[in-house]
Amino acid sequence: MNWIRSRIFWKIYIINLAVIFALLALMFMIARMYLPEITKEQYRHMTDKTVLRMKEQIVQIGEDLNKFEQYVQNDPHFRVNDAKQWSEGLEHIIKISPYIDSATVLDSHGYVKGFYPNDLSYLLNYNLSKREYFQQALRTKRAYFSDVVSADTGRYLLVISVPVLNERNEVERVVNLSMRIEHNNLFRSIVQSFQIGEHGYTFIVDRNGNIISHPSKKRIGDHVAENAIVQKLLRGQSGYEEVVNTEGAKMLASYAYIPILQWGVVAQVPVSEIYKPYALFEKALWLASIAAFFVLSILTALYARQIVHPIRRLCDVAEAVAEGKKHVRADETDPTEIGLLAKRFNYMIDSIQQSEELLRKSEKLAVVGELAAGVAHEIRNPLTSLKGFIQLLKEGERNQMYFDIIEAELERLNEIVDEFLLLGKPNPAKKAYHHVSDMLQHVMKLLEGQALLHHVTVQYSIDEQLPPLYCDENQLKQVFINIIKNAIEAMPNGGILRIEAKQRLDSILICITDEGCGIPKERMATLGEPFYSTKEKGTGLGLMVSFKIVEAHGGKMEIHSEEGKGTTVCLLFPISSKQEG
């Protein structure tokens, strides 16, 4: 029974079972995709028809309410400054309009000066100037339909604000006509929400996603702008799709936007109702699938057992070779593809033995090449500085400081050579307190010649009050040289090099920005790897060394670049007390 403990057996067995399961799942998927289509279309026709009917009725309501703008503005009751006349005009509107349940008259400052019916007497002289519908009517001088408004009495209202203009076309007063959504019988009979099927229903939202009409009165006034369908309605869209309602149930919904009032109508049906007629079919399909799965799994086990035995023998040979027994060979007598695999395996063992010696030699050559590239890169920086200063001396600029710097750079070349000679036993870092501004200025003096040759202008923004850093001065100078030199070389046609140093909380931030060609996005992830450089003749070791030096000082180095615009390198060093280096 060793085949039962075989990993190959179980892998073959599980793969075959997965294929069987995938085929059965595909059957279920196809059944679910195509069988409910007829029912879905029937429900879509039902919801589309419902939405269209409600949209037509709401459009009619909007057109009727729009007529109040001209009526109110031409009504002589509202052309005079008489509260009694206003009350009579409001009473007349409420009696002739089945949509209007209450009304108020506001002066141009938003104070209530007239009302009807008398249960609004508490609003007299109440200021409503901050209400959006008042502000919109005052600003646009046109009638404005409000969102769903919760009155102080707890009622939900729909307000139509109509401005009354004087002879100078100025707003003299504003007439607010209110519809009490929950109590207006005509409105409720026209736009009432009702059920579709067993659990489907309709609802209406205003321009801000507040519910105007819903089967549950408790939901009226709720803000549902986060609903996916409501968001599309607020963008003026109409359509039909599957969504998830606020209770987490999947629904198929038809929805329509109503421009005249900027409302939205939704009719939706639970997806579960559509699949209900096929519950019996799915149950039968499940039983058949379980039976088929059981039979096929047994056949798969028998098939996997026949394959495992020769593979197991080959696996034993591979384990012996892995333990160092290079003389072991696989049996090549099997007539199937396993026998061919065993033959190729034996050939592979022979090839490995021949390649091991070549690999050892290649590793030695790779180490020598990496060391040579590192030495060349480290020596190139001071040589570039020396070249720049010698060029200045040739042009006749005699300055004792140039000779001092040349002497210092020659000494640095000697130190670099010594360091590479002592790679097997590196010297400990020599840390002390140093000022960032001094180090940066010294580095720029070294690279001044190269900057002049490339027509690069340097701009400084260094905080002179920065505290000193506890660091190895030469190592940090090496980092600055690598970064600034890269920035100068990135601008062969000239440009501006910006160097900024400032304190950020308990750290010092140093940013070096160039206006060069930038670094492609696909190469950003490889920065700092050895032998990977964006420059044609670069080795990639400069940034690698810089990353390690910054990390050794407890800092961070980040590179931000945009192709065609330039690169910014930011160094962040902590300001801390003296610690072991």
For residue 534, pLDDT over 70 is answered with no
What pLDDT score does 277 carry? Answer: 66
Q: Bigger pLDDT: 89 or 325?
A: 89
More confident site: 276 or 94: 94
Q: How confident is the model at residue 367 (pLDDT cuts 50, 70, 90)?
A: very low
Residue 117 lies in a domain: no
**How many structural domains does the chain have?**
1
The C-alpha angle 217, 220, 225, rounded to 5 degrees, equals 145
List of E strands, 394-439:
431-434
Q: How far apart are CA 134 and CA 467, in angstroms?
A: 60
The reported pLDDT for the residue numbered 370 is 46
Q: 157 lies in a domain?
A: no
Check residues 365 and 450 and name the one with the higher pLDDT: 450
What are the tens digits of pLDDT across the range 9-61?
A: 677 777 777 887 788 788 777 777 777 677 777 778 888 888 888 888 888 87
The residue ranking higher by pLDDT, 278 or 158, is 158
The rounded mean pLDDT for the chain is 79
Residue 246 tokens, joined: 């606020």
Q: Contact, 542 vs 482, CB < 8 A?
A: yes
Among 209-223, 332-346, 563-577, whose mean pLDDT is lowest?
A: 332-346
The DSSP letter of residue 81 is S
Hey, what amino acid is at 78? F
Residue 371: pLDDT over 60: no
Instruction: Output the pLDDT for position 427.
Output: 52
SS (H, E, C) 294-335: HHHHHHHHHHHHHHHHHHHHHHHHHHHHHCCCCCCCCCCCCC
Stretch 543-556: mean pLDDT? 84
Look at residue 566 in the predicted model and tell me its pLDDT: 92
Question: Which range of residues forms the domain containing residue 547?
Answer: 429-574
Q: What are the tens digits of pLDDT across the range 295-312?
A: 777 777 777 666 676 777
Residue 102 has pLDDT above 80, yes or no: yes
Identify whether 282 is part of a domain. Answer: no
351 versus 476: the higher-pLDDT residue is 476
Q: How far is CA 450 from CA 204, 258, 460, in A?
A: 72, 69, 17
Q: Domain for residue 536, yes or no?
A: yes
Q: Domain for residue 528, yes or no? A: yes
Asked if residue 496 has pLDDT above 50, the reply is yes
- The pLDDT score that the predictor gives to residue 353 is 67
What's the CATH number where 537 sits? 3.30.565.10
Q: What is the full DSSP assignment across 15-77?
A: HHHHHHHHHHHHHHHHHHHHTTHHHHHHHHHHHHHHHHHHHHHHHHHHHHHHHHHHHHHH-GG
Residues with Cβ within 8 Å of residue 474, at least 6 apart in sequence: 412, 415, 430
pLDDT at 499: 94
pLDDT score of 416: 61
Which pairing describes strands 456-462 and 469-472: parallel, antiparallel, or unpaired? Answer: unpaired
- pLDDT, residue 500, reads 94
**Residue 210: strand pairing partners:** 223
Confidence of residue 571 (pLDDT cuts 50, 70, 90): very high
- pTM score, two decimals? 0.40
455 pLDDT exceeds 60?
Answer: yes
What does the pLDDT read at residue 368? 45
pLDDT (mean) for 370-389: 64
CA 255 – CA 248 distance, rounded (Å): 19
* CB-based contact 468:428 (threshold 8 Å): no
Those residues whose C-beta lies under 8 Å from the C-beta of residue 357, and which sit 6 or more positions away, are none
124 part of a folded domain? no
Place of tokens 């020598």: 368
- Taking Cα atoms as reference points, which of 239, 270, 269 lies closest to residue 256? 239
Closest CA to 375 of 413, 320, 329: 413
pLDDT at 292: 78
287 vs 312: which has the higher pLDDT: 287
The pLDDT, as a whole number, for residue 579 is 45
Please tell me whether the peptide bond between 277 and the residue prior to it is cis, using omega within 30 degrees of 0.
Answer: no
Give residue 566's Cα distance to chain centre. Answer: 25
* Measured distance CA(192)–CA(190) in Å, rounded: 6
- What pLDDT sits at residue 106? 92
Mean pLDDT over 242-249 rounds to 79
The string of DSSP letters for 320-379 reads HHHTT-TT-------SSHHHHHHHHHHHHHHHHHHHHHHHHHHHHHHHHHHHHHHHHHHH
Higher model confidence: residue 536 or residue 305? 305
Average pLDDT for 139-148: 86
Q: Is residue 438 part of a domain?
A: yes
Cβ-proximal residues to 7 (8 Å cutoff; 6+ apart), any chain? none
List Cβ neighbours of 209 (8 Å cut-off, separation of 6 or more): 223, 224, 225, 226, 227, 230, 231, 233, 234
Question: Looking at the domain assignment, is residue 476 inside a domain?
Answer: yes
Percent pLDDT > 70 in the chain is 80
* pLDDT exceeds cutoff 80 at 457: yes
